[in-house]
Structure 1
Amino acid sequence: MKERLKYISFYRITVIVWMSIRFLVQIFWFQKTHRVWDQETQRKWEAMLEKQAGEYRRKAIKLGGLLIKFGQFLSSRGDLLPPSFIKELEGLVDRVKPVPFEKSKETMEEDWQGPIEDFVASIDEKPVASASIGEVYKATLKNGTTAAIKVQRYRVKEIFGMDFKALRIVFWLLDRFTKYGRKADLPALYREVVRVISNELDFTMEMKNGNHFKKRFEEFPNVYVPEYNTDLSTKRVLVMEWIEGAKITDLAFIRKHQIKREVIAKTLFDLCVEQFLYTGMFHSDPHPGNLMLKPDGTIVVIDFGMVGEIKKEDANSIRTMIQGFILDDYDLVIQALQEMEFLLPDANTEQVKKILKQTTDMYLEGNFDKLDANTMNETLEEIQQFINDQPIQLPADYAFLGRATSIIVGVLSTVYPQIDLIDWGKPVIKEWISGGKDNSSFSIYKEVAKESARPLLSLPRALVEYLEDGDKEREWKSDKQRHHLFHQFYLFYAFVSLLFMASGSAALYWTLVVPVLPAVWIGSGLLTAGTIGLVISFIKHWNMIRKIHYNRRNE
């Protein structure tokens, strides 16, 4: 009876919505009755969240369907859920009780439009894997090849349809009665969930993704993606090549076949760099079960149901953000965050810039170690409060990217504990910053040079306006702005002096070595003027910097 209940729409929706309402009421009551937030309160809060996450996990395993997939989706959303909840969800095993083989056989025969014996010579009725969406069986096809057949679970599409209705009600409650309605774009988040999971329910999408990655990984000689049988694959049945091997983290298998662990790790590292840094799709669920190892050391990548995508404009936006940090231009950083849809329209961009600048300045100036405990705690609390209050939302692809990266780091550390990710990553980051394999015209080096030169070219007019207009000076409310102007002023005239020196040297060359110019004084005069100008600019700039530091020490 209990097994049949989970196929009843009213029952599933009631269970899911009621559980959500109880969680919300518990959170509201806790916050209402705990005004003083000390260590004991924090401990109780964490205990309550862990209890809620545990209940969610048990319900998910019992009901299956969307609760398992949504739990996995939420485990990647550090922008929405606290760490204690995510930690429990990360332990949510996507493994449920398999359906009777007769149900799977019925699905295969419906999609193949004929008896299973017409297509399969033999099949093991016990699945080798059972998950929330489908079971995988080992079979021998009529042509004698061994295949893995993934069959969609009985009535799973119907179950997910019920759960989507329940989820819409839950999101409506969150939007109307909690701060998440202001903090997150819940309708967009709901659409992301439906889109991502609906794609997983269509096995032809997984086959299409698999063929895409097979072509993309051709340049990796030690990486393999199984072949798909397009004739027998449908939306509910996926037939692919059977691969003999073990999980990539099976150390006993690695030792038995004498495979070099460093080689495995480097191959996997390069494979992930190709996916995670450059434009195109990436495998967003690369756990050990989806990364197999053949006896010859070849890495086999399977299960492309859940993928993310890095668009070219997104990669350029990330580079723009880094450029903004380098140039101390936080408007650029905000622009990049908005382009990537990290910041929702209601976000306080000035507050975002303030927090980013404070944190960056503390890091660059090495002030973290100079802070006392109280100041550090206040800073961390301000940042945490800011994140909680601001309408910041991590787009699904970036959430999947973060989750996939964290999974891969864990796999790499297991396979090769001596790995030095910083050392391996330096040449990769250098290439990526310059535009790399994306064939992008965007280069941080070029952009920084261009942006650095721009204020120098506009300095003479700005300086004249500043000196001539007394009102302009009064509008400048801080010494920092004035000092910044004169820093650029001296840099500009140092640059002009260098041009004079270069011109003078060229003129002397064309006078003494290649007699084109008529008089030596032209080159000598330019070289002398440039040298004097450079020395004066250096001395005045140095004196100004000393004066600034002296005034700061005596304030």
Structure 2
Amino acid sequence: MGNRRMKYISIYRITVIVWMAAKFLLQIFWFQTRHRMWDQETKRAWKELLEKQAREYREKAILLGGLLIKFGQFLSSRGDLLPQSFIEELEGLVDRVEPTPFRYSRRIIEKEWKAPLDHFLSHIDEQAVASASIGEVYKAFLKDGTPVAVKVQRYRVNDIFKMDFKALRIVFWMLSRFTRYGKKADLKALYREVVLVISNELDFTMELKNGLHFKSRFQDFPSLYIPDYYEDLSTNRVLVMEWIEGTKITDLSFIHNHGINREQLAKTLFDLGIDQFLYAGMFHADPHAGNLMLKSDGTLVLIDFGMVGEVRNEDVHSLRKMIQGFILDDYDKVIEALREMEFLLEHADTEHMKKLLKQTTTMYLEGNFDKLDAHMMNDILNEMQEFVKEQPIQLPADYAFLGRATSIIIGVLTTIYPKVDLIQWGRPVMKEWMAGEDSAYALYKNIAKETARPLLSLPRALVNYLEDGDKQRKAEQVRQSHQLYHQFYLFYSLLFFVIFAAGGVLTGLSVMEVVFFPVWIGEAAAGVGAAGWLFFMISHFRLLKKYHQNRRNER
């Protein structure tokens, strides 16, 4: 009882949170002071320290609830900010806390409805079926006997979060003054993101709006159902929705007992994720097993739209541009796309970034993608998090949530259908997505345009030589002749290099079955391109050598 009362006292909550953060920083500072050489033993001790801190954070979050739980979930998506060992511990932070006495929830409902419960309900179970840091859910029945789920904001939850926001501001000030994150990350922007995301969750009218949006968007999606909402009974602190009989999607015994096809269920979830994550619009940012219900007929039910993100049209365009940059080996295009998506901070070293991106891409291109599975996908995501963490990158909240949601979906997929082949399912979808909405061949048009650019800029020296050759003196003719041949060899060197590169790309795409050409066509083009490039480069070198010898003789 004492802890229950203490957690509503502002000075107590702020002191506990700030002291925990200060202690963590002092422990890290002392560790780094004592360990100058990072051998295997030091790395093991470092990992143990971070795991110990993460466990303490988790215990304090469960004890105090409020922002610590939601912020822990937020941080679990931030591979750009935290070490992987810390994130792994936070991923186990379940948004489930001890329910408050029903009398508090009754008081809130009646205040919001401005009437006694029995004015609208024939019955309500006083034992909550779900209890989280922001709200609790009860099963109730309307006057006509219709079962409904009533979500009620927790007692004094607004007061708790206001206290915690003050504590978080102090913690962020400490981070900005005494750690490298102050230089690496935009902590003010990060603080605003946290406050905005959680404030939206505290307003149930936002969740109602999101739920209605998803229901409209996916009304024709096969084997998917989104509950109805009772708008006339919903307020910013109470949300009433259709009651769904079912279980968690990961309940394998339920799936077996009802003869549900696991592969088909996994494909439905996969398609749902692809539709949300690749195309413009809102996406469910917290699709864990508790928010993915399963009915006895195999229908997937998506619930709880308090935490959502958004993929904008310009984001989709930038993502396509980034992938095209990787395919074309044009890392200026990749950097441009990253800037458009606001990934890079102002002081980012773009040249260093391009070098690292090229190295990382080369490493994966040399791997065997035919054996790519969900476990390898998670490994890649983890390595990407490590890469992001070391670079001057700060993920906008929507992208961080997108990465976290993707990781959660992959985890659920492998649970319900371990044989899932993400490459086989994803290849046709990615082809269509990369082509764009305007044209089925948009990607290939862009690749052709980029690779053909040298052909479209023919050497102007040829035109100048034909027009002015008779008008200039002999010395000028000789100079223009050298210039013409210089441009001639340079042009064809570039041309054959493009043929070589295009052949290499075509070979890679053929191997990956992205395009359906025989592999030998790409290999032949690459061979011809390499031979032609070598020939004209040698000829160009000989021309330049001869030109410089003539100039020395003229002197």
Please say whether Structure 1 and Structure 2 have the same fold, judged by a TM-score greater than 0.5. yes
In structure 2, the partner of 1:379 is: none
Work out whether 1:542 is the aligned partner of 2:548: no
User: Aligned partners of 2:462, 2:398: CA distance in 1, in Å?
Assistant: 47
SS, match of residue 172 in structure 1: helix
Q: Does the C-alpha gap of structure 1 residues 143 and 326 become closer, same or farther in structure 2, counting only changes over 3 Å? A: same
Q: Does the C-alpha gap of structure 1 residues 416 and 106 become closer, same or farther in structure 2, counting only changes over 3 Å? A: same
The answer to whether the 8 A contact 1:64-1:96 is kept is yes
Q: TM-score, normalising length from structure 2?
A: 0.82
User: Aligned partners of 1:383, 1:214: CA distance in 2, in Å?
Assistant: 33
In structure 2, the partner of 1:326 is: 327
Identity of aligned residues (%): 67
Q: Does the C-alpha gap of structure 1 residues 539 and 326 become closer, same or farther in structure 2, counting only changes over 3 Å? A: closer
Q: Does the C-alpha gap of structure 1 residues 413 and 35 become closer, same or farther in structure 2, counting only changes over 3 Å? A: same
Correspondence 1:17-32 to 2 at 5 A: 17-32=18-33
Shift of 1:221: 3.0
The answer to whether the 8 A contact 2:492-2:536 is kept is no
Code of the residue aligned with 1:455 in structure 2: it is P
SS, match of residue 99 in structure 1: coil
Code of the residue aligned with 1:84 in structure 2: it is S
Shift of 1:540: 9.8
SS, match of residue 137 in structure 1: strand
The answer to whether the 8 A contact 1:320-1:444 is kept is no
Code of the residue aligned with 2:422 in structure 1: it is L
User: Aligned partners of 1:337, 1:493: CA distance in 2, in Å?
Assistant: 29
Shift of 1:165: 0.8
Q: Does the C-alpha gap of structure 1 residues 230 and 362 become closer, same or farther in structure 2, counting only changes over 3 Å? A: closer
Correspondence 1:449-468 to 2 at 5 A: 449-461=448-460
Code of the residue aligned with 2:456 in structure 1: it is L
SS, match of residue 244 in structure 2: coil
In structure 1, the partner of 2:522 is: none
In structure 2, the partner of 1:514 is: none
Shift of 1:545: 2.6
The answer to whether the 8 A contact 2:344-2:394 is kept is yes
Unaligned runs of 5+ residues in structure 1 are 369-381, 495-537, 550-555
Correspondence 1:13-162 to 2 at 5 A: 13-162=14-163
Correspondence 1:526-541 to 2 at 5 A: none
Work out whether 1:243 is the aligned partner of 2:232: no
Code of the residue aligned with 1:445 in structure 2: it is Y
User: How many residue pairs are counted as aligned between the two chains?
Assistant: 486
User: Aligned partners of 2:239, 2:263: CA distance in 1, in Å?
Assistant: 34
Q: Does the C-alpha gap of structure 1 residues 125 and 490 become closer, same or farther in structure 2, counting only changes over 3 Å? A: closer
Q: Does the C-alpha gap of structure 1 residues 405 and 142 become closer, same or farther in structure 2, counting only changes over 3 Å? A: same
User: Aligned partners of 1:154, 1:387: CA distance in 2, in Å?
Assistant: 39
User: Aligned partners of 1:251, 1:300: CA distance in 2, in Å?
Assistant: 16
Code of the residue aligned with 1:461 in structure 2: it is R
The answer to whether the 8 A contact 1:183-1:389 is kept is no
User: Aligned partners of 1:484, 1:174: CA distance in 2, in Å?
Assistant: 54
The answer to whether the 8 A contact 2:459-2:488 is kept is no
In structure 2, the partner of 1:228 is: 229
Shift of 1:390: 3.3
Code of the residue aligned with 1:454 in structure 2: it is R
The answer to whether the 8 A contact 2:497-2:533 is kept is no
In structure 2, the partner of 1:349 is: 350
Code of the residue aligned with 1:301 in structure 2: it is L
Q: TM-score, normalising length from structure 1?
A: 0.82
In structure 1, the partner of 2:300 is: 299
Code of the residue aligned with 1:299 in structure 2: it is L
Correspondence 1:178-327 to 2 at 5 A: 178-327=179-328
SS, match of residue 218 in structure 1: coil
SS, match of residue 97 in structure 1: coil
1:16-38 deviation line (CA, Å, top 9, x unaligned): 11110110111111111100000
Shift of 1:463: 8.6
The answer to whether the 8 A contact 2:287-2:408 is kept is yes
* 2:493 maps to which of 487, 491, 504: 487
Code of the residue aligned with 1:460 in structure 2: it is P
The answer to whether the 8 A contact 2:79-2:386 is kept is no
The answer to whether the 8 A contact 2:135-2:153 is kept is yes
In structure 2, the partner of 1:4 is: 5
Shift of 1:179: 0.5
Q: Does the C-alpha gap of structure 1 residues 357 and 484 become closer, same or farther in structure 2, counting only changes over 3 Å? A: farther
SS, match of residue 102 in structure 1: helix
Q: Does the C-alpha gap of structure 1 residues 203 and 388 become closer, same or farther in structure 2, counting only changes over 3 Å? A: closer
Shift of 1:14: 0.9
SS, match of residue 298 in structure 2: coil
User: Aligned partners of 1:210, 1:89: CA distance in 2, in Å?
Assistant: 27
User: Aligned partners of 1:228, 1:51: CA distance in 2, in Å?
Assistant: 43
1:313-348 deviation line (CA, Å, top 9, x unaligned): 001101101111122211111000011111111101
SS, match of residue 148 in structure 1: strand
Q: Does the C-alpha gap of structure 1 residues 331 and 468 become closer, same or farther in structure 2, counting only changes over 3 Å? A: farther
User: Aligned partners of 2:459, 2:317: CA distance in 1, in Å?
Assistant: 33
Q: Does the C-alpha gap of structure 1 residues 367 and 456 become closer, same or farther in structure 2, counting only changes over 3 Å? A: farther
1:397-442 deviation line (CA, Å, top 9, x unaligned): 1111111111111111111122111111110000000014xx5899
The answer to whether the 8 A contact 1:487-1:541 is kept is no
Code of the residue aligned with 2:405 in structure 1: it is A
SS, match of residue 305 in structure 2: coil
User: Aligned partners of 2:494, 2:426: CA distance in 1, in Å?
Assistant: 35
1:423-467 deviation line (CA, Å, top 9, x unaligned): 11110000000014xx589932222122222222114137999x9
Unaligned runs of 5+ residues in structure 2 are 370-382, 465-477, 501-526, 539-555
The answer to whether the 8 A contact 1:279-1:309 is kept is yes
Shift of 1:2: 2.3
The answer to whether the 8 A contact 2:249-2:293 is kept is yes
User: Aligned partners of 1:492, 1:51: CA distance in 2, in Å?
Assistant: 54
Coordinate RMSD, CA, aligned: 3.2
The answer to whether the 8 A contact 2:461-2:483 is kept is no
Q: Does the C-alpha gap of structure 1 residues 386 and 69 become closer, same or farther in structure 2, counting only changes over 3 Å? A: closer
Shift of 1:384: 9.6
User: Aligned partners of 1:462, 1:366: CA distance in 2, in Å?
Assistant: 45
The answer to whether the 8 A contact 1:69-1:197 is kept is yes
SS, match of residue 219 in structure 2: helix
SS, match of residue 310 in structure 2: strand
